[in-house]
Structures are given as C-alpha cells and as structure tokens.
Structure 1
Amino acid sequence: MPPVSALVQNRELCYRAVTARDQRFDGQFVTAVRTTGIYCRPSCPAQTPHPENVDFYPTPAGAQQAGFRACRRCSPDAAPGTPGWNVTSELATRALTLIAEGVIERSGVAGLAAKLGYSTRHVNRILVAELGAGPLALARSFRARTARALLQSTAMPIADTAFASGFSSVRQFNDTIARIYGLTPSQLRREDTADQSGGGALTLQLPFRGPLNASWVQWFLAGHAVPGMETARSDSFTRGLRLPRGLASVRLRLADDHVKATLALTDLRDLMPAVARIRHLLDLDADPVAVDRALSLHPSLRPLVSGSPGIRVPGCADPTETVIRALLGQQVSRRAAITLTSRLVAQLGEEAPPIDRSETPPKVFPSAAAIAEHGRTVLSGPIRRIRSIIAAAQALDAGTLRVHPGADPAELHDTLLTCDGFGPWTASYVAMRVTRHPDIFLHGDHVVAKSLSDLSLTAADAQHWAPWRSYATMHLWWHYVRDTATRKETAAS
C-alpha cells in the first residue's frame, strides 16, 4: 500500500476505495464532501458522493482545518495519533484476526496489544471506537459464536463444548450463552442437526459470502500440496495443523455456500484458532462481489473477472510454514519446492491425530525450533539458502522475527527485507499470504510477468487495480494456469 501522502494524491484510487467501502482503508485517508460539509471514513455506509464533489485528506485534522465536520455515522475522528500510524480500522481488523485465533484466551489483552505493537489502552480505545466493544467483549462474542456452531452442528457434550469454545468454566459459558442468545445451551442445541464424526472428530459448516471460485481454490491447494502433510482429492483437502496447544488434522469440502470442515484435535481448546486458520487459508471472510465489481471496471481485467468470479487470495495455515516454504521455493520450480518441503516434513514433522483411523494421519509442518536445531542435517541445496532458512527459523523461535496474521503488512514486508535471503518478491509473497492484505502486487513474479505479456499489459498497469492488487495477482496466476492447460490439451489432440 502506498504511503498516506501518496495515496491522497491519487484521486482515482481513493475514490475506488470509497466506492468499495473497504474497511481496511479506513485511517489511510478521509473523504470530505463539499456539498454537505462533512468528512467520512472510506467505509462509511452513507450514499457514495459524486466524484466531482469530494476532496481527500490524509488525516481528520486536515479535513477539520479545511472547515469540514466529522460524520456522526462513521465517526472518522475517533482515532487519536499521528498521520503515520492513524490506521484505526486496519488496526481493528488485525486485532479481530488475533482475537479470533484465541490470543486473549492464551495471553490476555496485554498479549494481544504486544502482538499489535500498541499499548493495551490504545487497543481498547480503538476497538471501542471502531466496533463499540473492547477486546474482552469481542473475545466473548467469538467464543459464543464458536459455542453456537458446536451446539447446533455436533453432539459434543455441553461441558466439553464450553471448554472447546474457549470458556474458562461451564458457569461462564452458561451465563454468556443466556445473555447473548436468550437461551440455555440445551435450548440452543438442535438435535436434528447434530453431527459428530467417528473417532472423536468434529464436523462444522463454515459459511462464506459467494461466489467462491472452487476451481481456483482446488487447483491452488492441490498444486501446492506436500505429500505426507497435505492430501488433495477431487472432493476434499486434508492436512495437518500446528495450533497453539497441540496438533490437529482437518479435512475440507467445498459446498455452494459453506465449507464443511472435519477436525481432529489433540486439545479441544484449539477449536477456535483452528476455525480461524481455515477461514484465513481459504479467504472465507472476503467480499468477492465488491472485489469483482471494482476489478471489472478495468477493461484489461474484465474478461478474467467475468470468466472466474469469486477468486480468493489464499492465506496461510501456519506463519512459520509460510516463511520457510517461501524460502525453499526461491529460484526453483513449484515441483522442486514441494519435494524439498516433503523431505523436511518427513524427517522433522510430527504426526497429527487421525480423522479416520483407517487412514494414515497427516504430518504437521516442523516447528521453528525443530528446523533451527536439525535443519542443517536435513536440508539440501545451496549453502546460502540453508543458512537463510536456519536463520529465519532461529529468529521465529526466539521471537525476534514476529510473523502472524495480525501483523502490519508494510512493517512485516520491510522487516523481512532486512533478513538474510529475503528479496522483494519473497517478502511481498509472505506478507500477502500471512496478512491476506488486499493490495499487494507481486512485481517480478515469473507467472505474473507471463500473463501480463499475454494480455499485452505491463507491470505499470497494476497501479490502476488498487486497492485490490492481491486479487488481480491471483487472476493473473489463474489465467496462466488455464492458458497452459488449454495449450497442453490442444497439443495432445
């Protein structure tokens, strides 16, 4: 994402962000409407003003100085601070990502604030201003949502449901369910929808906003599947997961309006972070209609979007895994990277609990500590690459390199560039996958370059696709994949 000062100078980009009402751009600038004398956040739900009636300012203070007053509906002046870090909704979004992963249950509000890089007071103030609730209330809401899904889709005993949802006691669980839903847990449960797989596995339905391009998701998962850790079939995708309290196996099946997720956990308290990881991996919280509408405004992308609506930006199941696999994949083919990763998993990975006891359980990607300690004896290839992987694993294990979904994308990118072995492409790729930021374009990517050439475009055209360049990158990848498959079929016939 460009710096704030550069962003407000690009009226077309700012207006597209306002039209899409993307909350991730709140705090980057404010929109001042000359006909009303009011300034708003980009995500304000009010009617979108005509482009000739708006001005853009980097801060609320700038709009106030020009004589505009704050919108009462979206409260754009709620966030204090300097222009460089006044990114309130983005901070709130990052905080929500971490809360959904159960950070508060494990580390408290102080742990959440530490990961975000702000004081607990500031995080609380921003969340209350943006979302109307503090971190503890938001965490309670996430726990209640998880509990409701378990009560209505599994036969798990109510006491187990309480702890699996992240509650510290059954009494707290009962009180929260009654306060939020006005029912007891038993009343909330619908016996006719209960479903519990054999072997102790749980099956949940994870909804999403359509459309979802299943062909793209299936190709990406299958095309990057690591033998021993991931199994991609025509109707399912299975893999091992490393979660905060233990290991897990997950099997995913795509349906029209939900993803059916079957999980086997070593610790039921990991259910909430497991669901958060799945949603992150598949980009289930995206608004594909808004993305497709914005990208379709550009004639160069319109055919790609209309032919493949609902493209998602794959997130990550494990930040450590994403970092190490990105380093393993530098300057080698996708197939070679998979081979190198499978060897690492085979020798250092741990066995996850089985979903189906008749099948071989998947292994889980090795921990940073295991790679730091044993990587030199397992890894093969150029010495410099091995050294970079070991250094990254040591930094991840020590906590000096912090890579997590709640990280600031620009800060993460810049931090990775200071690490040995990370070039611009690798840093951008990791930032895009880990934070799932919507506006990261992979300049210099081999496949992107080929697709651009095929479409008679250049990398300079990408500036017009902001603020959705991550999704544009996926469209270019998918174009290359389909074009390659078409050429192979033609040659074979």
Structure 2
Amino acid sequence: RPGGWLDARLRLTDPRDLTTAVQRLRRLFDLDADPYAVDERLGADPRLAPLVAARPGLRAPGAADPEEYALRALTGRVEAEHLVRAHGKAMDAPSGTLTHLFPEPAALAGRPGPLGALATALADGAVRLDAGADRDDAQAALLALPGLDAAVVARIRARALGDPDVAPPGADVPDSWRPWRTYALHHLRIAGETEEHRVLD
C-alpha cells in the first residue's frame, strides 16, 4: 500500500499468541526479505528491469499455515471449500463471515488418494514444512507421495517453505535470475506476460 506500511488488526483470545501471530504475518507477507538485494540482481536483467522499476521491493507471498497451504495447493480452491464445510473446526467466536478453520492434517489423514497421502505424511511428520524444515528433504518427501506432481510441489516449496529461488517445471527462468527466481516469476505473473508464470499462485 502507499507508504510501505502493512496495517494488521489481530483478535487474540490469549495475549501469549501475539508472538506466533506476528511470526505468521511476517512469513505470509515475506517481511523478512531483503528487497534491495532482490531488486539489484533482477533489475540488472533487461527483461525484468522495467518490471522491477515499476514495482520495487515486490515480495513473494508465503503461507501463514504451511500445512494448510500444501493441502490447498493440492486440492484447489473448490475442493478446499468442500473440506472446510465437511471437516473444518467451528470457531469459538466467528469473525465476520469466517466461521470455520481449515481442517488439521490429522482430520484428513487416511482418506483415499493424494489428499489422504499428503495429510497423513503431514500428520505423522514424514513431511515437514515448518520454518526449520530442510527444503530439499521436504521436496523429496513430497515428490515420493502419490499424486503430487512437480508443479504442485514447486508451489508448496515457494510458498509453504518460503524458497526464494524456485524454478517450476516448464517456466522460462534462466540461471542468471538466481537466487531470486521466485521473485522473478512473481514479477512476470503480475505483469501478465504468460500463463505459465501462474505456477506459483
């Protein structure tokens, strides 16, 4: 927003949750990035230079809840809405139109197909997406699950794991954009250059 500030209003039932809430916001909005380093590298590329000049300091969105994002990336928006209605946890105090939370992985574990496989792996710790998780290990574990293709795993790696240098399959991302290829793809996506750059949505 103009001025470079992010306004956030938190409704906490326990003040001790403040630190966790702030950490989640920082991860969601990529507030720990170094935009100067990103812009310096990408702005030196002739293709990206005008995009960086138009949107200096562009961030790469993350995920407030990495496990929820992974499940939503696999299922898509429509199926995710069905899961909330069928398995979501009712909030003690609704906030506006928000009445239910996305189901925890344990609530979806054991279901048939890729969704159940991913939920089970998240619930039992076979796949870790927390801030301390090793990105390469997580990617290997995700790709070993049935039904998770490289495109879905790339989205999970970029957003749930906050990887700044993801190159999804089929995307035109030269090595000269490293280590900020995730940011380069967001510049291209926002500029509407091609549909292939929507892979990190």
Give the TM-score category using the shorter length: 0.7 to 0.9
Aligned partner of residue 352 in structure 1, secondary structure: strand
Deviation at 1:340, TM superposition (A): 1.4
Rg: which structure is higher? 1
**Residues 412-491 of structure 1 aligned to structure 2 (within 5 Å):** 412-444=138-170, 449=171, 459=172, 462-480=174-192
Q: CA RMSD in A?
A: 2.2
Match of 1:349 among 61, 85, 88: 88
Matched, 1:302 2:28: no
Alpha-carbon contact 2:129-2:161 (below 8 Å) kept: no
Alpha-carbon contact 1:265-1:353 (below 8 Å) kept: no
For residues 355 and 366 of structure 1, do their structure 2 counterparts lie closer, same or farther at Cα, with a shift above 3 Å needed?
A: closer
Matched, 1:289 2:26: no
Match of 1:321 among 59, 68, 90: 68
Matched, 1:340 2:87: no
Deviation at 1:396, TM superposition (A): 1.3
Deviations 1:86-145 (A, max 9, x none): xxxxxxxxxxxxxxxxxxxxxxxxxxxxxxxxxxxxxxxxxxxxxxxxxxxxxxxxxxxx
Counterparts of 1:392 and 1:355 in 2: how far apart (Å)? Answer: 28
Q: Which has the higher contact order (CA 8 A, sep 6+)?
A: 2
Alpha-carbon contact 2:67-2:160 (below 8 Å) kept: no
Q: State the TM-score, normalized to the length of structure 2.
A: 0.86
Deviation at 1:258, TM superposition (A): 2.7
Match of 1:395 among 112, 117, 121: 121
Counterparts of 1:365 and 1:469 in 2: how far apart (Å)? Answer: 30
Deviation at 1:468, TM superposition (A): 0.8
Look up the equivalent residue of 1:348 and give its one-letter code: H
Look up the equivalent residue of 2:79 and give its one-letter code: L
Q: Name structure 2 gaps, 5 residues minimum.
A: 196-201
Q: State the TM-score, normalized to the length of structure 1.
A: 0.37
Look up the equivalent residue of 1:307 and give its one-letter code: A
Deviations 1:369-398 (A, max 9, x none): 11126xx5xxxxxxxxx5111011112112
Deviation at 1:277, TM superposition (A): 0.6
Aligned partner of residue 326 in structure 1, secondary structure: helix
Deviation at 1:355, TM superposition (A): 7.5
Q: Report the counterpart of residue 368 of structure 1 in structure 2.
A: 105
Aligned residue pairs: how many? Answer: 195
Match of 2:5 among 233, 258, 262: 258
Alpha-carbon contact 2:66-2:161 (below 8 Å) kept: no
